[in-house]
Amino acid sequence: NRQILLASRPFGAPSHDNFTLAQTAKPSPKQGEVLLRTVYLSLDPYMRGRMNDAKSYADPVALNEVMVGGTVCRVEESKHADYQQGDWVVSFGGWQDYSISNGVDLLKLGNDISNPSYALGVLGMPGLTAYMGLLDIGQPKAGETVVVAAATGAVGSLVGQIAKIQGCKVIGIAGGTEKCQYAVDTLGFDACLDHHSDELATLLAKTCTDGIDVYFENVGGKVFDAVLPLLNPKSRIPLCGLISQYNATELPDGPDRMSSLMGTLLVKRAKMQGFIVFDDYGHRYGEFNKAMMTWLSEGKIKYKEHRVEGLENSVSSFIGLLEGKNFGKLVVRVGPD
């Protein structure tokens, strides 16, 4: 059983030295448990926060413990009445080949599924995040302008497409020409701007001719600086993530911009609301799943995976996720079906 452990806590960007690969015996399930074999491992930005020794909405990973992560697995051996060998399940097995579960954290996928890994993306945690953050907090209305960053990623690509389904004008912000081209040509966004450009703020102002009604916040930093002056009265900001800051070790240089932020929120009567997807919206998974399955089957939602082969490539892929190297939902193929 190969396991990737947290060896040390990063200061700034994580490096290979922060992880170790361990070999242990395959675990054995006790009565009431199942042995799971990992087929797919999801790599997600929140894992960076779990590497810190800081209290957050979830506990940190302890040193020399297996890195946490959502997985799609097959039941290899069952001593649990509800599961049989061969069942496909979604679990939280972490960065390893095998894990044990007592069934409480498992979701059955059924045995006749064409894309099991979708349960980690478009039909799973990132999908629910996009759907609930946009529709429940963002409250987009037809004709409004919605801006989303990390626009071709797991969450952002879905936010923009759901906003198009609602009849909105959608402006993406992404890293590089290829991603921006994809957002417009394949995802159907009205425009997409490259955040590497020095002209981002000017270009965004030119593109958002009617201001911004909903800004779905995934990245923070200079992208938010470009968005802030364009917010319309009564605009909504679902505060989902701040990936540009996850490796930061101190506050940015320059003048304190807190009063300018608060002043804008006040004058524009804007609403900014954070959310943690499963804590706030786990109970609405059924509603989301039904809507997303329908959109997928109708071809209204396109979904792109960035698939990596082999557990041994998880560390470099995760480091790359925080640098924008993924193009689509990052999923590691750990073992065969």
Q: Which residues of 92-127 are buried (b: 16+ CB within 10 A; e: fewer)?
A: ebbbbbbbebebeebeebeeeeeebbbbbbbbbbbb
Which residue is at the shortest CB distance from ligand NDP? 153
Question: How would you list the strands of the sheet with 169-174, edge to edge?
Answer: 191-194, 169-174, 145-149, 212-216, 231-239, 271-274
Please report how close the Cβ of residue 124 comes to ligand NDP at its closest, in angstroms: 10
Please report how close the Cβ of residue 222 comes to ligand NDP at its closest, in angstroms: 8
Count of beta carbons in the 10 Å neighbourhood of residue 135:
19
Residues of this chain that interact with ligand NDP (CB under 6 A) are: 44-46, 126, 129, 150, 152-156, 174-175, 179, 195, 218-219, 221, 223, 240-244, 275-277, 321-322, 324, 326, 329
Please report how close the Cβ of residue 290 comes to ligand NDP at its closest, in angstroms: 20
C-alpha dihedral, 93 to 94 to 96 to 101, nearest 10°: -20
Please report how close the Cβ of residue 252 comes to ligand NDP at its closest, in angstroms: 12
d(CA 45, CA 219): 11
d(CA 122, CA 236): 23
Please report how close the Cβ of residue 205 comes to ligand NDP at its closest, in angstroms: 18
d(CA 99, CA 38): 8
Beta carbon nearer to ligand NDP, 66 or 125? 125
CA 66 from centroid of its chain's CA atoms: 20
Beta carbon nearer to ligand NDP, 158 or 230? 158
Q: What is the DSSP string of 247-279?
A: T-SSPPSSS--HHHHHHHHHHTT-EEEE--HHH
d(CA 290, CA 307): 25
Beta carbon nearer to ligand NDP, 14 or 153? 153
Alpha helix ranges (H) inside the chain: 46-50, 125-132, 156-165, 177-185, 200-207, 221-227, 258-267, 277-281, 285-297, 314-321
d(CA 118, CA 130): 14
Beta carbon nearer to ligand NDP, 212 or 240? 240
Q: Which residues pair with 335 in a beta bridge?
A: none
Question: Crossing angle of helices 125-132/285-297, nearest 10°?
Answer: 100
Please report how close the Cβ of residue 55 comes to ligand NDP at its closest, in angstroms: 17
Beta carbon nearer to ligand NDP, 100 or 203? 203
Which tokens go with 57?
């909405």
Beta carbon nearer to ligand NDP, 116 or 126? 126
Please report how close the Cβ of residue 276 comes to ligand NDP at its closest, in angstroms: 5
Please report how close the Cβ of residue 99 comes to ligand NDP at its closest, in angstroms: 22
d(CA 181, CA 264): 32
Please report how close the Cβ of residue 76 comes to ligand NDP at its closest, in angstroms: 28
Find, among 250, 34, 275, 1, the residue nearest to 155 by Cα.
275
